[in-house]
Homo-oligomer: A and B are copies of this chain.
Amino acid sequence: MKVLNEMKLSFPSRSANEAFARTSLAAFAAALDPTIEELADIKTAVSEAVTNAIVHGYRQQIGTVYIHAKILEKNRIVIRIRDTGCGMEDIKQAMEPMYTTCTTGERSGLGFAVMEAFMDKVKVRSKLGRGTSVTLEKTILSKGAE
């Protein structure tokens, strides 16, 4: 699969970087000429994955969040968000809607559900104590972009 464009981005896991990360990815995806809705889908899914890396992956510590995004042929965008944080034991359970390990009641457990609803494909790899990587994929249909 030919890579038409790509970018790598990394930043410390501070919550202020959630907005920066999704804006940056939206600027990268703009080359595909997405509709407003498609762009909002991508921003939302990226925001979920980056927030998870910050909130769950690194918890109280500051680690580095890595993003690698590619634009492939046929208007496909693939975005991998990776942390080297705590990892998860049971990915399937983690991805169930409403499942959350957050105890404050302020997280809905819907992060993965949002990613799955807004992107075409979501692939999660994780290893306890080693970290997590989430790969999001979407084909931009709307307009006949390059």
Contact = CB atoms under 8 A, between A and B. Distances in A.
B12 A20 contact: no
Number of copies: 2
A9 interface: yes
Contacts of A8: 8-11
Interface residues of A, number: 19
A99 interface: no
Contacts of A17: 5, 7
Nearest to A9: B9
Contact of A6 (B5, B11, B30): B11
Contacts of A12: 5-6
A108 to B, nearest CB: 26
A31 interface: yes
A107 to B, nearest CB: 24
Given A9-B9, A20-B27, A23-B24, 6 more contacts: A5-B11, A5-B17, A8-B8, A16-B31, A23-B23, A27-B27
The 6 closest A-B CB pairs, nearest first, are A23-B27, A24-B24, A7-B11, A8-B10, A20-B27, A9-B9
